[in-house]
């Protein structure tokens, strides 16, 4: 069974401005995002990772380097890039908040139609995301640990659905994984078990004894 540490990138300027931060746009990490990524690096400092994988988007790569160090080998996988939201990418959320498709996107993914805004279909996102995580743990030694740094939409979907927490349709109802949070799963590629959920450096003191072992 391999351990998979799923990290969402640090806060970006687009995040701070409450703009859509999809797969066709990028912006630098804020000072808060940088500080939080460094703090997460301290939390994960005692963990030996057999493999470190990042989305190729600059915000994810920058976060990865702040967490593990600039000189540590990092694998990039395009399948981990954020969902492409087409014409929505970069827009203020307030501009699309009353759009029926935005409601579907957040509350009822099965009803979401990506065509009007030229977004990526959810089945394609799901398939490439699953494939990326299965490849991430393939060939890793038993009890090996893999760090994956990516994005809110794709990681929230994968973590909630693979662990059976919810369906694809309802996977966004409870919101997205927080910036610079780590979610730990254990998997044999058939079963995916949630061990720690959305841990941020400022909440590490809330971990159970068993969860603390994941960070040593």
Active site residues: 9, 82
Handedness of CA 106, 9, 211, 163 (dihedral sign): positive
d(CA 63, CA 114): 29
Question: Is 81 annotated as ligand-binding?
Answer: no
42 is in an annotated binding site: no
Residue 51 assigned as binding residue = no
Is position 10 annotated in a ligand binding site? yes
Residue 13 annotated as part of some ligand binding site: yes
Whether 97 contacts 20, CB under 8 Å:
no
* Residue among 199, 150, 179, 198 at smallest CA distance from 16: 179
198 is in an annotated binding site: no
Q: Report which of 150, 149, 127, 140 is spatially closest to residue 187, judged by C-alpha positions.
A: 140
Query: What is the layout of strands, in order, in the sheet containing 75-76?
Result: 75-76, 51-54, 145-150, 2-8, 182-187, 192-199
Rounded CA gap, 122 and 178, in Å?
21
Q: Is 46 annotated as a binding residue?
A: no
List the beta bridge partners of residue 148.
6, 53
User: Taking Cα atoms as reference points, which of 8, 41, 62 lies closest to residue 198?
Assistant: 8
- Residue set of the binding site for substrate: 8-15, 59
């Amino acid at each position: 069974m391999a351990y998979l540490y799923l990290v969402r990138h640090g806060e970006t300027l687009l995040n701070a401005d409450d703009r859509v931060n999809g797969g066709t746009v990028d912006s630098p990490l804020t000072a808060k995002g940088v500080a939080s990524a460094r703090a997460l690096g301290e939390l994960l400092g005692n963990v030996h990772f057999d493999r470190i994988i990042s989305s190729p988007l600059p915000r994810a790569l920058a976060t990865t380097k702040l967490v593990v160090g600039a000189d540590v080998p990092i694998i990039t996988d395009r399948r981990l890039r954020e969902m492409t939201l087409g014409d929505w990418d970069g827009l203020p959320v307030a501009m699309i908040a009353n759009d029926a498709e935005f409601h579907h996107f957040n509350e009822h993914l099965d009803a979401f139609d990506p065509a009007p805004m030229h977004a990526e279909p959810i089945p394609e996102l799901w398939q490439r995301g699953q494939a990326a995580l299965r490849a991430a743990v393939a060939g890793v030694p038993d009890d090996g640990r893999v760090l994956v740094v990516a994005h809110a939409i794709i990681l929230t979907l994968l973590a909630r659905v693979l662990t059976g927490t919810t369906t694809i349709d309802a996977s966004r109802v409870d919101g997205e994984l927080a910036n610079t949070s780590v979610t730990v799963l254990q998997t044999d590629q058939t079963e995916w078990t949630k061990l720690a959920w959305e841990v941020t450096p400022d909440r590490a003191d809330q971990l159970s004894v068993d969860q603390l072992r994941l960070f040593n």
